[in-house]
Structure 1
Amino acid sequence: MNPLRLLAGKPRESTRTAARETLNITLDNGETVDVLRVRDPRARRIKLSVSERGARLTLPLRASEVAGERFVLEHGEWLVAQLARNGDAALALAPHVTSAIPLRGGELPIAWHEGRALRLVRGGDGLQVTVPPGVRSTSLRRALRDFYEAEARTDLGRWLPPLLPTLPRAPSRIVLKVMSSQWGSLAPNGVVALDLALVLARPSAFEYVFVHELCHLIRADHSRAFWREVEARFPHWRDEREYFHAHGRQLKASLRALLG
């Protein structure tokens, strides 16, 4: 036997990727919903889930399409209730059409202007947006993201200084990004990551998540000692957890709709 064949081991099987297709399904109550059907080679059972992106039906390779649609119909009431939690998510930003954007638990009015350069500036009681003719949607979304990040950093800059004397060290960096399920995290190197959708929430909810992640600089777990650290700095943290339970999915869905 060729010894090189022993060293090479078994040949790798070809990697099979998940196949995706969006279905339009009419439920027993007459309501029509869009469901993303994903046939995943790693799946072991049929699964129906809902996130800020909408409904998702995951099928194992051997499950039939009919069985999948039947599964959706059997869980129709649950599906409608979960989709309702997304609330009225904001629509994509449209020049001279969108009248307001979500910010800090409320809505910020937009005044549109035509000009040679794209600009987003806080002015008066709203947001002054100057757009050139034929502005690209990608450029507009990028500018809105920069605006949201600047607003979020303004809040963080107000909350951080009073907390620093109570921490063993300062965070090495704070990054804002679009997160799928989490609201924040702390990396071993001290980098705090926060979901940009937090700036759409009421300020107290945003502040709670920030305090929560900073407290992980003291305790890396979620022990009773950790929660005592959180409570010492933010006594009403339970109220904010309830707020995210009720409105979190809508906040994430709104940010995704606005930023694409």
Structure 2
Amino acid sequence: MAKFLPRLIAASPRTLQRDCVRLRLDDEQEIDVLRVRDPRARRIKLSVDERGARLTLPTRASLVAGERFLHEHRQWLATQLARYAEDALLPALERDVPGQQLPLRGELLPLHWHAGRYTRIEQDAEGIHFHLPARAGTPLMVRALRDFYETQARADVGRWLPRYLPSLPRAPSRVRVKVMSSQWGSLAPDGTMALDLALVLGRPEAFEYVLVHELCHLIQANHSPAFWHEVETRFPLWRVEREYFQRQGRSLKAQLRRLLQPA
């Protein structure tokens, strides 16, 4: 028995170890799952993103347990992969194509193209107006759109933040808006807050919830009951917005990726 244990339980690596596992789904489709042994992991976890499926194992988890976990979640995995395939079909931003729309604050707004002397994006009651010089290329168009979304996100944060500051021990040292692969927000030990740019595409209440969530980490640097009490005191409907992200979060991030990497 002692000789058999090394095959079931891996040694304790200090760094990530990666390999691939071949898995046959219920529809006979075969996929490669990235298997990662992570010393920071506390439980077996299966996740899916635009890069594919990933199985994360804690240091002491057996390979047999990991494979069993994979097989037990085949149907869930197939559903998630199908949804990501649908997200990949979201329309990209193409210059001068009529009838396009841009997502902003939970709505799809009509997009109007205009020739201009310099690049700028404006919003009015008719929708969003994209002004571009005739020779402007794709990188300039993408940069302008990213700057527009960041400006809109910062405007929202600037409107909400003063409401919560009086009840906090201190203000964030800095607020950054950037593209985040999986998280919606984070708070560094030095007080720097990061917020995902895709938040401005979704409904404002969900964006405000993420802001409140990260602000409460200035009081409780964890997710203890005390932390959630601080969140609920400031944002009683936080559960509703968390469910919104569970339903729509993947699609919001996929939309942003497509818009910032147009065909």
TM-score range, shorter chain: 0.7 to 0.9
Q: Which secondary structure does the structure 2 equivalent of 1:163 belong to?
A: helix
Alignment check: 8 A CA contact 2:25 2:78 kept: no
Alignment of 1:171-210 (within 5 A): 171-210=172-211
Distance, in Å, in 2 between the alignment partners of 1:76 and 1:119 is: 47
Q: Can you list the C-alpha shifts for 1:183-230, whole angstroms capped at 9, x where unaligned?
A: 111111111101111111111110000000001111111111111110
Alignment of 1:1-260 (within 5 A): 29=27, 49-51=47-49, 53-56=50-53, 77-86=75-84, 88=87, 90-97=90-97, 99-260=100-261
Q: Which structure is larger by alpha-carbon Rg, 1 or 2?
A: 1
CA spacing shift, 1:27–1:125, aligned 2, 3 Å: farther
Q: Percent identity?
A: 56
TM-score normalised by length of structure 1:
0.73
Q: Which secondary structure does the structure 2 equivalent of 1:207 belong to?
A: helix
Q: Which secondary structure does the structure 2 equivalent of 1:129 belong to?
A: strand
Alignment check: 8 A CA contact 1:120 1:130 kept: yes
CA spacing shift, 1:76–1:217, aligned 2, 3 Å: closer
Distance, in Å, in 1 between the alignment partners of 2:103 and 2:125 is: 17
Q: Output the aligned Cα RMSD.
A: 3.6
Alignment check: 8 A CA contact 1:115 1:132 kept: yes
Unmatched tracts of structure 1, length 5 or more = 1-16, 21-25, 59-71
Alignment check: 8 A CA contact 1:201 1:251 kept: yes
Q: Which secondary structure does the structure 2 equivalent of 1:159 belong to?
A: helix
Displacement of 1:140 in angstroms is 0.8
TM-score normalised by length of structure 2:
0.73
Displacement of 1:36 in angstroms is 7.8
Unmatched tracts of structure 2, length 5 or more = 1-16, 39-44, 56-69
Alignment check: 8 A CA contact 1:95 1:131 kept: no
Q: Which secondary structure does the structure 1 equivalent of 2:221 belong to?
A: coil
Distance, in Å, in 2 between the alignment partners of 1:252 and 1:150 is: 18
Q: Which secondary structure does the structure 2 equivalent of 1:83 belong to?
A: helix
- Aligned pairs, number: 226
Distance, in Å, in 2 between the alignment partners of 1:238 and 1:48 is: 23
Q: Can you list the C-alpha shifts for 1:132-187, whole angstroms capped at 9, x where unaligned?
A: 22421111111101000111111111111111111111111100111111111111
Alignment check: 8 A CA contact 1:54 1:83 kept: no
